Amino acid sequence: APAPVESIGAEFFDDPHARYRRWRAEGPVHRVRFPDDVVRWVIVGYAEARIALADPRLRKDAGQLDAILHAKRGTTATDPNIVALLTHMLGTDPPAHTRLRKLVNKAFTSRQVALLRPRIEQITATLLDAIGDRDEVDLMRDFANPLPVTVICELLGVPFEDRADFQAWTKTLVTVVGEGEHDERPTASAAMVGYLAKLVRAKQSEPAEDLLSELVLADDEGDRLTDQELVSMAFLLLVAGHETTVNLIGNGVLALLRDPEQWRALREDPTGVPAAIEEFLRFDGPVDMATARYTAEPITLGNTEIPAGEIVYVALSAANRDPARFEAPDTLATDTPTPGHLAFGHGIHFCVGAPLARVEAQIAFTALLARFPDLALSPTADLHWQTSTLIRGLLELPVRLR
């Protein structure tokens, strides 16, 4: 196997696109040392990424992944809570995956999601009313974050008042921990499991009009979800509904404000918003590298053979700016987006929540453009990014409303 190309550390997160540009020029498949000192394979070419996402030799079983990770680290202790939380549809392969996905699929169809529109519009209006009389705000804290979080909490039936707790646990769970740094993940995972198990018990004894209650009651010819499956499903939906659409709004607003001509064009013609959102997803999507996969057998991608038992990350952000697939990939083109981005993944794990994310973002951008036609980046803005290879998102987005 080739030597590791290089390591990624804290500096990576300031501008992953610059690093990906260099790697892509060298080849589509790289070996990279991550901040936890484990070497993983990273796919940066579009064609190879698309193939990898749909290849059944690349698997997702959470228990196997955990075992491989510990073997690479030379550790044996596993965190049973992490594995429990991750044994959901994104941490399983067929046939388990097929069964779990079928149970939630129908809640997220475009038709179901269209029914949520009026409520999402109402939440959006309330949030914008609350910031409307100020000159400067942190758009992450006051808008991009609370909008999707309110929606997913209501949809699932999770108390919104508890969001500070589970947001903190989630942040801990997706943040890269460097070698020698204190790992707070076992504490966060235990707290998260305890919280969700209690919530599931509450829905079991008193079902309400929400998705979690529906899942508790779901019965497919006698096939029901176990308590553990309910906890991990709730975790997946909560996290997916939290850290993703938030950053589609944040990264999209940033991209637009850096190119005020495109902001003005959209303001003049808001019918362009759905197309613009697809371009935000391609240009700087909320998921940088897709969730981990492992090779169940050797697989050759772009002339590189990856042996069995290796951890593989598909860098969606890198694929989405591959010049072999997208013309002028580093330029935002909201009026003429090239279709085919991989921001929602590809293959059997393609994002279940994509219709919801798209509707939320459409409502959010339409409302922002109408309410704050002169929105601008704060001149003193000093932007910082989350230190996660999974989530590409701003910590703060200071803007001038007028």
Note whether 391 binds ligand HEM by CB under 6 A: no
User: Interacting stretch for ligand HEM, rule CB under 6 A, among 73-81, 139-147, 234-242, 391-399?
Assistant: 234-242
Binds ligand HEM (CB under 6 A): choice among 266, 356, 363, 377: 356
DSSP letter assigned to residue 259: S
Angle at 60 between CA 55 and CA 61, to 5 degrees: 135
Binds ligand HEM (CB under 6 A): choice among 43, 237, 369, 401: 237
Note whether 351 binds ligand HEM by CB under 6 A: yes
Binds ligand HEM (CB under 6 A): choice among 291, 304, 338, 362: 291
State the residue for tokens 């929540």: 353
- Name residues contacting ligand HEM, limited to 312-341 (CB under 6 A): 316
SS3 353: coil
CB-based contacts of 132: which residues, under 8 Å, 6+ apart? 371, 401
d(C-alpha 25, C-alpha 400), whole Å:
38
DSSP letter assigned to residue 157: T
Structure tokens at 31: 């070996």
Smallest separation (angstroms) from ligand HEM to the CB of 287: 4
Annotate each residue in 151-170 with x if it binds ligand HEM (CB under 6 A) or - if it does not, as one string. Answer: -x------------------
Cα distances from 221 to residues 108, 218, 232, in angstroms, run: 21, 10, 22
Nearer Cβ to ligand HEM (272/286): 286
Smallest separation (angstroms) from ligand HEM to the CB of 235: 10
Classify the phi-psi angles of 31: left when phi > 0, otherwise alpha if psi is within -120 to 50, otherwise beta: beta
Note whether 357 binds ligand HEM by CB under 6 A: yes
Nearest to 183 by CA among 92, 81, 84: 81
SS3 287: strand
Cβ atoms of residues 391 and 284 within 8 Å: no
Start-to-end Cα distance in the chain: 56
Smallest separation (angstroms) from ligand HEM to the CB of 382: 25
Smallest separation (angstroms) from ligand HEM to the CB of 94: 10
Smallest separation (angstroms) from ligand HEM to the CB of 218: 15
Q: In the sheet where 58-59 sits, what is the strand order?
A: 6-7, 29-33, 39-43, 311-314, 293-295, 58-59
d(C-alpha 50, C-alpha 319), whole Å:
8
Residue, CB closest to ligand HEM: 353
Site size with ligand HEM, rule: CB under 6 A: 26
- Name residues contacting ligand HEM, limited to 135-154 (CB under 6 A): 152
Cis peptide before 95 (omega within 30 of 0): yes
Nearer Cβ to ligand HEM (32/401): 32
- Name residues contacting ligand HEM, limited to 57-116 (CB under 6 A): 89-90, 101
Binds ligand HEM (CB under 6 A): choice among 46, 166, 344, 385: 344
User: Interacting stretch for ligand HEM, rule CB under 6 A, among 25-33, 71-79, 192-200, 346-354?
Assistant: 346-354
Interface with ligand HEM (CB under 6 A):
89-90, 101, 152, 236-237, 240-241, 244-245, 248, 285-287, 290-291, 316, 343-345, 349, 351-353, 356-357
